[in-house]
């Protein structure tokens, strides 16, 4: 492993993947200010030496450090890194079963886009559909799991960070 990571660039890529599992190629390139082709060369090398694994989802190849992440986590990560999908999931967390129109009121997307995202979530087994006669409702499939995952991989929230800072300062 040491030999593979001798090269500083490769080490940087590996670091960024371990800190941010589920990143795709262009995002890594953007963060490291590198050309995509360079990044691609190195990630292929890392995968070849089994340091990282590649998951394909939603049109992107996403990278994870080998052995650090379960399949479900990978699934959540790749999907829930996308802002709108996360927003929908967070809304669903507050409710039990919601209909399409209620989600539409709380998430700023067009109806067709919302349908598209919901279908994706269903496909990734994050959300399941409940039918009540003519009506269709959506709810989270594995609530506890998602909550655990969110706690572990929560996205940056300025106000929460601020609160955390002060919460730690105590006698």
CB of 102 to other proteins, least distance (A): 23
Q: Which residues of the chain form contacts with other proteins (CB under 8 A)?
A: 31, 156, 158-160, 162-163, 166-167, 169-171
Contacts of 65 (CB under 8 A, 6+ apart): 14, 17, 18, 21, 51, 52, 53
Between 50 and 160, CB nearer to other proteins: 160
CB of 67 to other proteins, least distance (A): 22
The number of beta carbons lying within 10 Å of the beta carbon of residue 118 is: 19
Between 12 and 95, CB nearer to other proteins: 12
Between 17 and 114, CB nearer to other proteins: 17
Between 71 and 170, CB nearer to other proteins: 170
DSSP 118-170: HHHHHHTTSEEEEEETTEEEEEES-HHHHHHHHHHTPPP-HHHHHHHHHHH--
CB of 131 to other proteins, least distance (A): 36
């Amino acid at each position: 492993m040491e030999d593979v990571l001798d090269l500083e660039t490769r080490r940087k890529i590996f670091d960024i993947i371990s800190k941010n599992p589920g990143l795709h190629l262009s995002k890594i390139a953007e963060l490291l200010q590198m050309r995509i082709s360079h990044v691609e060369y190195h990630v292929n090398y890392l995968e070849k030496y089994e340091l990282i694994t590649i998951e394909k989802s939603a049109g992107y190849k996403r990278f994870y450090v080998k052995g650090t992440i379960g399949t479900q986590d990978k699934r959540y990560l790749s999907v829930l890194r996308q802002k709108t999908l996360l927003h929908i999931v967070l809304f669903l967390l507050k409710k039990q079963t919601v209909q399409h129109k209620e989600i539409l009121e709380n998430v700023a997307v067009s109806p067709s886009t919302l349908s598209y995202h919901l279908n994706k979530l269903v496909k990734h087994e994050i959300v399941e559909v409940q039918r009540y006669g003519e009506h269709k409702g959506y709810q989270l499939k594995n609530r506890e799991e998602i909550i655990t995952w969110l706690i572990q991989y929560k996205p940056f929230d300025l106000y929460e960070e601020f609160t955390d800072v002060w919460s730690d300062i105590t006698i």
